[in-house]
Amino acid sequence: MRFLHLSDLHIGKRVNEYSMTEDQRFILRQILGLAEDTRPDAVLIAGDLYDRSVPPGEAVGLLDDFLTELCARGVPVFAVSGNHDSPERLEFGSRIMRKNGVVLAGAFRGRPD
């Protein structure tokens, strides 16, 4: 099996009041190209999808676009929350997303799903 492993995307990060969103959009497009070229069996995202527990709307939209593009390519996604993510917010819509190949695991509840 071939996995594309990502972590610490920190989508929505600001550095000295400078938004990193456009830089992150560029990098995520490159990752989509890499997924297209390498055709992984799944993408694993190991935490810190967002830079803060309540991400700005543009960060949520950017992650949504990224996950949607991976789904359109038929690449399953498995993601877990990190210390910068809100587990509950990250799991929003997870039951619907799971049906489309995106598994978002926020808080560990003592059993695997």
Residue 78 pLDDT: 92
Residue 113 lies in a domain: no
pLDDT (average), residues 79-86: 82
pTM of the model: 0.86
- Active-site entry in 59, 70, 80, 84: 84
Residue 111 lies in a domain: no
Residue 113 pLDDT: 57
> Is there a catalytic annotation at residue 84?
yes
Q: How far apart are the C-alpha atoms of 94 and 26, rounded to whole Å?
A: 26
Residue 91 lies in a domain: yes
E strand residue ranges, the chain: 3-6, 14-15, 18-19, 42-46, 77-80, 102-105
Q: How far apart are the C-alpha atoms of 108 and 68, rounded to whole Å?
A: 25
Whichever domain contains 17, its CATH number is 3.60.21.10
CA distances from 68 to 48, 55, 75, 96 (A): 19, 18, 10, 13
Domain carrying residue 29:
3-103
Total domains present in the chain: 1
